[in-house]
Structure 1
């Protein structure tokens, strides 16, 4: 099915989403149960299908937790930007990414993880997350600005 290296990659993805090793393990387990139950539907890309299950399970769990808490916070002001391709080629050091992943919300952690750690392009991230490429570019632009302020020691709100 999946190699040990692939499971480690999926676990790191879950960890980037949840920021908690126990929750990441639970998410990986729940996703695996769902994947095995629906395995007959998987055709050519089982890894992508499994990652989508993990992401959707995380979102469902998040929505359930928010709904039970009676709070909901979405950033409705997404403005697509026409950003040059240098966003896709900028390199970020792994230790910096890990430190910054702990300081942003789950949507931003997912974007940063897929872009900086896994090395996906903006088009690939848009396809994986089912978000328009322009929106992904806008989110990354805002995230980079926010992270610069965080590195400078400025308190910044936002992120999900």
Structure 2
């Protein structure tokens, strides 16, 4: 973990594993990105759901057939009463940089029991909404869609 934003053209990763005589590792994906942990928790009403693009077709007899697509997670995060500058500098600026095609890694709960259910690679479904909620405070809302491999 770096203390500040680091921009580099290459990254040299060295892994020391004396228990691996072949000297081979398999990394599915290496993510190097800035992190943001908002100063406040998401508001009540933020939620995680599952959606699918599976198409359904019904015959005249009522039998259904499916063009199955992999279900994906959708996360709605609403942060309220954040310091205005944090919502602008971290939330809105992050969204501006990544657009709807860039990636974020969402970690809702870092406890091991649910880490695999509540953490995933995602993209913004749409740009967030920023609104002033009180003097020097702001709300910002995100809709995140799981990025499937």
Query: Which structure: greater strand fraction?
Result: 2
Larger radius of gyration: 2
TM-score by length of 2: 0.30
Query: Which structure: greater helix fraction?
Result: 1
Relative contact order: is structure 1 or structure 2 higher (C-alpha 8 Å, sep ≥ 6)?
1
TM-score by length of 1: 0.29
